[in-house]
Structure 1
Amino acid sequence: MTNRFLNLYHHDFARVAVGVPQCRVADPAYNAQQTIALAREADNAGAALIAFPELGLSAYTCDDLFHQRAMLDACEMALADVVAASITLSTVMIIGMPVRVDQRLFNCAIVVSGGRIHGVVPKSYLPNYNEFYEARQFNAADCSSAEAISLLSQTVPFGAALIFEFSDMPLLRFHLEICEDVWVPIPPSSFAALAGATVLVNLSASNVLLGKEVYRRELVRQQSTRCLAAYLYSSAGQGESTSDLAWDGQALIYENGECLSKSERFLEASHLIFADLDLERLAYERMHKTTFGQSVRRHKDEVEKFRVIHIDLKLPRDIILPLERTVERFPYVPADSKRRDEHCREVYNIQVQALTQRLLSSHIKKVLIGISGGLDSTHALLVCAKVMDRLGLPRTNILAYTMPGFGTTERTLKQARRLMTLIGCNTQEIDIRPSCLQMLKDLGHPYADGQEVFDVTFENVQAGERTSRLFRLANYQQAIVVGTGDLSELALGWCTYGVGDQMAHYNLNASVPKTLIKYLINWVADATDMGDSTFSFVRKEEDTTALSNVLTDILGSNISPELVPGKEDVGTEQKTEDFIGPYDLQDFHLYYTLRFGFTPSKIAFLAYSAWKDEDVGRWPDVVGTRRHQYDLPEIKRNLRIFLDRFFRTSQFKRSCMPNAPKVGMGSSLSPRGDWRAPSDGESALWLAQLDKIPDDPNA
């Protein structure tokens, strides 16, 4: 048996497909052949199910031909062909066709697999306006009280309130509705989602009009968002009658508001789209958002109408089936340049508004901040500059201090000086080495006697001295201390308890991860370099290039606390990522742990899917950002560091963190907000799960 680690179904993903076959009006045999061909293609790709258009076996535009017995008999014969073909396929097919029930005709979706018809779902809402007159030929679902019908000598469930569940994957529960059903104020799929359906499928034959394609996409996006579900949409295309209408064959797959796949429109040939749905993610959202459960209670009568139909079909779990869904390497940073620009601007605006309000409410007009010449304090200083501009106060109300210590390099010290000068704040420099040496002497530390002992105490004396001075200076000058520690440091506990990275009067960066801080600074550097004045940080036009240059230099510096002296003047041997792992990976691990509560196995699978290949230019270029792949052993090694530090060693520091603005989903560790956990928890549970992951994914 092949190791399941590289199989997407093992991690609660499900591959689904939407097909738009070529059709011929009133030629069910031909339409069945086209449908089967696409189903085989979907099956070869490992899809669990495939959805086809409304009335696909007959074509939608048959009009009064639907009342011809020859047509209806031919549709049943075509369905028999589909059922026979399904015996050799693992994919569930969802077919549209007219069905006779008790001397009435219904527009139906039919679920077929393994030589069986699992259920028949009639259309609930029949449009009878503008170009539509379906009520002329069909009856709505509530015109029949039948719960089962006989079709092709099989007794099968019948009704609009059916949910189909894969016995091999309980999270894969799908519901069917047909075209107009999703256009009404409360679609049937809304109640189906409350009843447990995670995948909503719409068989449609929507004709195309100017602007209708955008409206359809928005309709599907919103329904998937409101229902916390995936939504599959298939629409009729090439071959439908164009007597009075045209057809574009649109196919869509959305998951909780995100478009995973969409087809080209107006294609002449049959076509197919795929997507890998994250069913666990949908289930988590429903569990996490307790108002979903409240909605179930309030619509109990509708929810209880649904019947669950079990499909005994083995999914392809024991083969290598890699994830084809795009997994962002930097989940906190949009890969699309337009969205990234909007994202960066919004983060700055959120932080500026938050600090502005804090100053107004406290009647304080000054902020005090320590500047190291590194990433976090640089970003915080840029925010402080815009706060003063918004309040109409001079930037000299920013009291900026750089405090060189034993490990401070000349490079970062120069960067700090250049940055403070260009921003125009009140610049001060305090050498903390004499006072730190005195403290070490008072402690009886061997460094005070000339020994090169660079232990944790040696480092914390410097960090503590800086923080102590900042708070006393703020008190003396009637200012508030602005904290600079970021989300990544808080997650990993990479901060000394009670000092600047963990404690402040107000912390700007507590919900901003390190990878996003890089992009925020890079965004300012690029905008400044291009002369973009819409978010300007300099007062003189001639300083724009200088600011861009210093920000680029800061991005190119090693991430380091600079508390241990290096052997060279141009660098430091103390690199943060040597101790806690690369932030590129650790921010990835943080996102999926905090935002969705995924298991270590799934997080490793996602990380491997994102980072296993060389960068081919998808990811935005930022100075200092790593751009090569990680193998699975490297991912596991760093995930172990993350899990142990996050769950076992760091919570006590987060339990008393200062106020800070939340800037995004899954980006807060505040004990008053997104994350509340015991300070003395254990990590053994997560580490034990991590140990079950193979080092070789192909083993």
Structure 2
Amino acid sequence: MTAPFPQKLVLALAQLNPTMGDVAGNLARARAARSEAAAAGADLVMFSELFLCAYPPEDLVLKPALQEACREALEEIARDTADGGPGVLIGLPWREDDKLYNSYALADGGRIEAIRHKVDLPNYGVFDEKRVFDAGPLPGPVVFRGVRIGIPICEDIWGPDPVECIAETGGEFLLVPNGSPYRRGVIDERLSVAVARVAEAGLPLIYLNQVGGQDELVFDGASFALNPDKRFAVQLPAFAETIAIITLVREGEGWRCLDGHTAKLPQGDEADYAACVLGLRDYVDKNRFPGVVLGLSGGIDSAICAAMAVDALGASRVHCVMMPYRYTSQDSLKDAKECAESLGVRYDIIPIAEPVEGFESALKPMFAGANRDITEENLQSRARGTLLMSISNKFGAMVVTTGNKSEMSVGYATLYGDMNGGYNPIKDLYKMEVYRLSALRNRWKPSGSLGPAGIVIPENIITKAPTAELRENQKDQDSLPPYEALDDILACLVEQEMRVSDIVARGHDVETVKKVERLLYIAEYKRRQAAPGVKVTHKNFGRDRRYPIVNRFRDAGRAAASRDEALYKTKGASVSADAFDF
């Protein structure tokens, strides 16, 4: 007698935050999630792409010892399934003969029942899977307790072929494990792709994404389930761990997900802020720093970094230091103190006159006869950077770097000074976005934030003109175009790779655009030495945008290496963009 077709499957989605390379820890998290799923009556528990080692492993995955550790961990959790509880779907690197795959395993009944390999290996933007993995064959479904389940892995749903193969070979629904990092607009893009696959295959689709920070990347979770009519059945929260139970039921010859919890997802600036906080938290915690230290100058960049740090770690783990010099205004002293008090952090003041003047005294014989210039200004920044690194060395706290994307683009930063540090939560935010997110944080406290509600960044910090305060009455706009114009030009050059002529057509001055382009190129060597930071835009500095340092190409047919440009490059080795002649 033929066994009846299963009429229901209870699935646990484990939207969790694995730690890169912590195979034992990730296995322990998977076991704990399986126990929770069993208590909830689940038949099957699903984990994200490469969960046992975490995603993306980069060249770490080439180590045979890591591959073996993941294989052993899979065998351990497979043995656990002999207890009659939930089966397990989990991702890991899988070595087979002379090939290494990005794979997904089904374990049930005490053994490994099936393995599926990723077919489409992404090799664009932040992804370079073809560097380390081999592509698998088109997949058929796996059979779990009489149900034929299709498992396209992440990128496999961004084109039609893997899902089409699953549907044609009898797949009854699609479970999609992912390691899909956050960037603006990506949540909507994922949904559009998933809807297209559902429309083509006529099958329910459950999309499970990793959550958490890994170096520059932040994984937002935001997992969901779609029914064959393309309607949402379930939406899990973004930027948070959760284990959700989804019930699938057979209706006639097909399946449908019963409606479950539908979380409201953060949008726009709220999502960017949440990504910056999660990225900073996980970088600090996963690297086991006890906390962070940062210079609080009274300016907008350090203020929002302090707020993000408190939201991520709590006030007790954040140490802010004001390091005044003769050009530090009373407004800056007042604003920094008020910001620190609003956030509830430890706040110290370390005057830098003595170390700066000591440097100048040591250099005086060599600099005899030379005029004072940007070199002496940068000694202030380097003294501050040295002090912060010394505090870090002594007490173990990581230095938070506070330069925004506008500054990093044009080199308006000092090597071994304000660029010192371990991680930068606003590295991928332009200056005007920093202002916008600061105003947002004053009226909105993010979900899961450890910081206080209400105004945490004094209004005067948001409204006053930005300045590095390295000389008397200095303003950023003495050296740079207005940030509204600069940010638009940079977005055109960096994110969109637009021609100079097309940027000018948007209403920008041609000479200003050319100068910004030049500064963008000659600051490349600085960015190579900058701390990592959270990616939120379509193209960040680091994993996305990879430009040569030696580079004489200039748009609009200009001479490649004029005497003026050579002078700027020579200066750039030791100066900030204060030297640039806007």
TM-score, structure 2 normalization:
0.49
Max radius of gyration: which structure? 1
**TM-score, reference length from structure 1:** 0.41
